[in-house]
Amino acid sequence: MNALENIVFLSAALATVSGFYIQAQEYIRSMVRGQFVQAILIAATIFVLAFVESSIDLVVLGLLVLVLRGYLITELLERRIPGKGSDVKEKDIGIASHLLLDLVFIMIGTFIIYSLVFSRITFSIAGSIAGDTILVFPLALFFQGLFLIASRNSTFSQIIGYIEEENALVLFAIFLIPVPIIIEASVFLDVLALVVISSFVVLEKFTHNPMDELRG
Amino acid sequence: MLNGYVETLMMTLSQYFFVVLTAPLYSGIMTKLKAMIESRRGPSIFQPYMDIWKFMKKETLFPRGSGFIFRYGPYVIFGIYSLISLIVPILVPVPIFFTASADFLGGAILFSLAAFIKIASALESGSNFMSLGAARTASFIFLSEGTLITVFFAVSLITQTNNPYVTNNFLSANPVQGLTLEHIFATLAFFMLFFYETGKLPLESPGLAELGMIEEGMNYEYSGKLLAINKWSGHIKQYILGSILLNVFLFPWFLQSSFPNFLLDIPIMFLKWMLLILIVVIIETTMAKMRLFRILDYLATAFTFSILFLAFGVLLG
Amino acid sequence: MHIFPYLIIAAPIIASAFYSLQPRAASIAAGIVDILLSMLIYFQLPFHNIFYVDFTSWIFLIMVSCIYLASTLYSLNYMKDIQARGISERTYYTLLNLFSASMFFTLLMNDYGFMWVGIEATTICSALLIIGEKNDVSLEAAWRYIILVSAGVAFAFISIILIFYNFHTLNVYDIIHSNPTDGLMGRIIVAIALIGFGTKTGVFPVHTWLPDAHSEAPAPVSAMFSGVLLPVALYVLYRIYQIDPFPLLYTWFAVVSIAVSSLFMAYQKNYKRMFAYSTMENMNMALLGFALGGVGVIGALILLITHSFAKSGAFFSSGNIMKSTGSKNMDQVSGLWKGMPWTSTSLVMSSMAATGAPPFGVFIGEFFILSMLAGRNIVQFSIVIFFVMTAFIGINYNVSSMVFRGSSDSREQGWLMAGTAIVCASISLLIGILFLGGYMNALV
C-alpha cells in the first residue's frame, strides 16, 4: 500500500463514518453540515484518484461534486430549515439505538452483497488499487442512506438520506469505472432538481407518519 | 538456562512491582497538571499514595445487611488486576511468567470479571447509592465490554495472533505508513473507551457528586482498608488500560527487550505516559460533562467504530 | 438523418414554453403533433443512432403520445374548478408537458445512462402533479412517491455502473446485439435492475408508493401514471433484461406481485386505490410476458397498450364520479347508472378491459402470456390463473355494485370529460377486436 492509496482508503472510510455522524444528529442543521463534509470527503477522494490517473474528467467530476453537492445542495437545504434554523430538531431520537441498528443494517446488507457477488467476481479498481474490497465503503454508505430514509420521519432527514445514497453511487462509480462525464453531470442535475422539488414539500409538511387513508 | 530463568523472573518482578507501585503516581500527576492548567495549586502528585495510606489506617466498617461478596470482593478485584498486569505488554515487551495464562481475549474477559464482581459486591452492600452506581454501570457495560472485546479482536486480526506481545512487536516493527484502517479506528474506539473506563471528564466528573457518578458510586459504602484497596485497584486499572492504549494502539515504539536494557523501559514508559496524560488533561479541561443518558450514545459510537472496522478488516483483509 | 425523435421530445418542451400565453392550447397541439410524429416514425423502423427505436419502443411511443393527449383534454375541465390547488393551473400544464417529454426521452435514447436520467426526470416532473388537489393526504402521497421511487431508482444506477464496467459502453443496441457471455455479472445487473426499476414498475416488495400516489393524484395524472409512466419504467427494465435474460428470478417476482396485488385489491374501499392495485397486477403480468420471451413479449405489448387505454378510461371515469359525488369511497357511491350513463358505460367497459375480459385486448395479451407460462411452469401458471380470477371477480363486483345498485343524484360533468373516458375505453375494445379479426384472418 502506498501513501496515496492509503489516503484514498482513509477518505472513503471517513465518508462512511460521516454517514454515522449524520445518522446520530438530532438537529437538522448538523445533518445538513454532515452532508457537506461528506461531499468534501468524496471530492477529495476524486481529486486524489484524478492525480493518480492524471485524468481531466475526474477533476471536472470532483469540481462538480464540490459545487453541486458541497455548495448548492447544502445552501438550498439550509435555507429551507424553518424557523430560526439552528434550533430545529427531530423529536425522540435514541442515538445509541439508531447507531446500533444502522450498524446491524449495513453489516447485513454489505455481507449479503459481499457473499453473493464479491466472493465470486473480482472487480478491477481504478487508480491501480489492489483488490476490490474498497467497494465495501460505497456499499456501506448506500445502505446508510437507505437506513436514514427508513428510520427518520422528517422531510429533511429523508432528503439527506437520498443524497447520501447518491454520494455513495458517485464513490462507487469512480472506484469501479468513471461513468461518462455527461451522464454523471445529468445525474447531478437530476438530484439537484429533486432536492428543489422536495423543498416544496418541506414548506408544507415537516414530518411524515403513517396515515389511515394510505394504508393497505 | 538458569540465566534465562533468572532474567524472566527479574522482568516479571519488575513489571509487577512497577505497575502496582507507580500506578497511583500517574493519577496524581494528572490531577496536579489539571489543577495547574486551571490555575490552581492543586494537590501534591503523591496525594493518591497519601490517600491510600490514610484509608489503610482507618477503621473498616460494614453496612448492616452486607454480604460476604461485599467484604471479599475488593481483594479478588485487586488480584484480577494484578494478574492482568502480568499478561499484557505494559512494561516489558517480551513474554514473562503468567503471560501464557491468557491471551488478549482472556485479558478482556478478566476485565469483565472484575467489573462483574464489583457490581455483585455493590449489590450486596444493601445501600441505595451503591445500587445506583451498579445499575448505571450495568446499563453501560454491555457496550463498553463489547467495545473492549471487539477492539482486541481487531488487533488480533491485523497481526493474525491473539498474543498481545506479538502484536506489540509487529506494530513497533512497522512504520506509521503501515498502519491499517482498522487499526486507526480501533485506536479511536479504544481511546474513547479509555475515557469511560477511567471515569474521565466528558463522561464522569471525579468526586462524590451523586448526580453523575458511575464507577465512584460503587465505592460509596466502603471504608478503611477495603476502600484503600478499591482505590488502588482503580489506579492499576487505569494504568493497565492506558498502557495497552500506548503500547498496542497509539505508540508501540521504543520498548527495550534485552536483559539489562529492559530497565530502561521504566523511564520510557514514564515518558509515554506523560504524553498520554497531556492528551487526557487537554481533553478533560476543554470539555463539559455529558448528560448521563448521553454516555450510552458515546459508548455506542465507540462500539460502532470498533465493530464496523472489525468487519471491514475481515472484508478488506 | 432521423429528425422525428428530436421533434417528438421537443414538441412538449416547446409547449411548456407557452407558460404565460396559452398553456392549454399549446399542450393540446403538442399532444396532437406527438401522435402524428409517432405514427410517422413507423415508416423508418427500426433505426439506431443516438436514438434506438424498434417495433417494441414504437408501441410505447404510441401509448405515451395518445394518453398524453387524452389526459390533456381531460384536464381542461377537470383542473378548472379545483378549490385547494397545490400548484397553479399553468404550472400544472407545464409539468404535464415536461413529464411527457421526459418519458419520450426515456423511450427514445439509445443509452442506458440517459434512460436512467430520463426515469429520474419523470419522477421530478410528476412529483408536484400529485398535489394538484392539495391536502394533507396528497402531500404525504407525493412525498412517499418522491422518496421511495428516487431511493429505488438510485439503486438501479448500480446496475448502470456495472453495465458500463462490463461492456465499456452504454449503447443499448450494441449491448443487446453483442450476445454477452459473462453469466454471473449479467445476472447481477439484471437482478439489481429488477429491484431498482421495479420500484417504479410496481414489483412486490417495493411497490408501496404506487397505490398512494394513484389514489391521491388528480384523475388525469393517475391516468398518466398508470397508463404510461409504469410501462415506461417497465420498458427500461425490459431493455436491461435483454442483456442477460434471467427468467427464474423475474417470473417468480412477477407471480408473487400478481398474487399480492390481487389480495390487496379485494379489501380496498377506495375505488382509485383498487384500480391502482389492478395496474400493479397488469404491470407484473406484462413483466411476466417479457420475462418469458417469445410469444410472451407480443402478449405483453398487446396487454400494455390495451391496458393504458383501459386504465386511463377507468381513472377518467373515477374522476367524473369523484367530481359528481365528492367521495372516493365505494360505499358512498351507488346507482351511477341513473345519473351518469356515459361515465357508467366507460367505467364498466374499462374495468372489464383492465381485468382481462374477452374480447378486450388485455384478454388476448394475458392469453398469450399464460399459454406460454403453462408450457413452462405449471405451478406459476396455477397461481397466476387463480389470482387473476380473484382480481376479475373483485373489481367487477365492486364496479357493478357502484353502477347498478341503489340510486343517487349524480350528474355528468360535461361532455368533454365523459367523452374522453368513453373514447379511451372504446379504443381498448377496438384494439382487441381488430387484433382478433387480424389473427383470425391470418389463421384462415
> Residue with C-alpha cell 437507505?
A146
What was the pLDDT predicted at A39? 93
What was the pLDDT predicted at A92? 66
Share of chain C above pLDDT 90, in %: 35
User: Measured between CB atoms, which of A9, A100, A110 is closest to B300?
Assistant: A100
Q: What is the pLDDT of residues C336-388, one digit of tens each?
A: 888 888 888 888 989 988 888 888 888 889 999 999 898 888 999 999 999 99
Touch between C and A (at least 3 CB pairs under 8 Å): yes
CA angle B293, B299, B300 (to 5 degrees): 95
Above 70 in pLDDT, residue B176? no
**Shortest Cα distance, chain A CAs vs residue C244, angstroms:** 16
Count H helices and E strands in chain A, helices first: 8, 0
Q: What is the pLDDT of residues B254-292, one digit of tens each?
A: 777 776 777 788 888 888 899 999 999 888 888 888 888
Above 90 in pLDDT, residue B149? no
Interface size, chain A vs chain B, as Cβ–Cβ contacts under 8 Å: 58
User: Measured between CB atoms, which of A169, A180, A211 is closest to C113?
Assistant: A180
Above 80 in pLDDT, residue B187? yes
> Residue with C-alpha cell 488480584?
B79
Q: Is A172 on the interface with C (CB under 8 A)?
A: yes
Closest residue, chain A, to C183 (C-alpha): A121
Domain that holds residue C323: 246-444
What was the pLDDT predicted at A176? 86
Q: What is the pLDDT of residues B19-47, one digit of tens each?
A: 888 899 999 999 899 888 888 888 888 99
Above 90 in pLDDT, residue B10? no
| Number of domains forming the structure of chain C | 1
What was the pLDDT predicted at C377? 86
pLDDT band at B60 (very low <50, low <70, confident <90, very high): confident
Which residues from chain C sit within 8 angstroms of residue A155, using beta carbons?
143
Chains adjacent to B (≥3 CB pairs closer than 8 angstroms)? A
Number of residues assigned to chain A: 216
Domain ranges across chain A: 3-82+93-204
What was the pLDDT predicted at A27? 85
Q: What is the pLDDT of residues B65-75, one digit of tens each?
A: 788 888 899 99
Share of chain C above pLDDT 70, in %: 99
What was the pLDDT predicted at C244? 86
**What mean pLDDT comes out for the span C253-267?**
90
- Contact assignment for A20 to B301 by CB distance below 8 Å: yes
Q: What is the pLDDT of residues C95-110, one digit of tens each?
A: 999 999 999 999 999 9
What is the rounded average pLDDT for all residues in chain C?
88
Supply the DSSP symbol for B46: T
What was the pLDDT predicted at A1? 53
Tell me the torsion sign for CA atoms A46, A52, A55, A56.
positive
What was the pLDDT predicted at B178? 57
| The C-alpha cell that represents A62 in the structure block | 470532483
Above 80 in pLDDT, residue B162? no
What is the rounded average pLDDT for all residues in chain B?
84
Give CA A134 to chain center in angstroms: 16
Above 60 in pLDDT, residue C420? yes
What is the rounded average pLDDT for all residues in chain A?
84
Chain C interface, mutation test: which of A139, A174, A179, most C Cβ atoms within 10 Å? A179
Q: What is the pLDDT of residues C44-81, one digit of tens each?
A: 888 888 899 988 999 999 999 999 999 999 988 888 87
- Contact assignment for C113 to A214 by CB distance below 8 Å: no
More confident residue, C149 or C83: C149
User: Measured between CB atoms, which of A158, A172, A216 is closest to C158?
Assistant: A172
For residue A179, the number of C-alpha atoms closer than 13 Å in the C-beta half-sphere is 28
What was the pLDDT predicted at C84? 77
What was the pLDDT predicted at B81? 92
- Whether residue C31 lies inside any domain: the answer is no
* ipTM for this model: 0.91
Above 70 in pLDDT, residue A212? yes
User: Measured between CB atoms, which of C124, C137, C154 is closest to A193?
Assistant: C124
Identity of the amino acid at B234: G
**Shortest Cα distance, chain A CAs vs residue B310, angstroms:** 11
**What mean pLDDT comes out for the span C271-287?**
92
**What mean pLDDT comes out for the span B207-234?**
82
Q: What is the pLDDT of residues A50-78, one digit of tens each?
A: 888 888 888 999 999 999 888 998 988 88
What was the pLDDT predicted at C310? 92
What was the pLDDT predicted at B179? 67
- Whether residue C49 lies inside any domain: the answer is no
What was the pLDDT predicted at C21? 82
Give the burial string for C194-212 (b: 16+ CB within 10 Å, else e): bbbbbbbbbbbebbebbbb
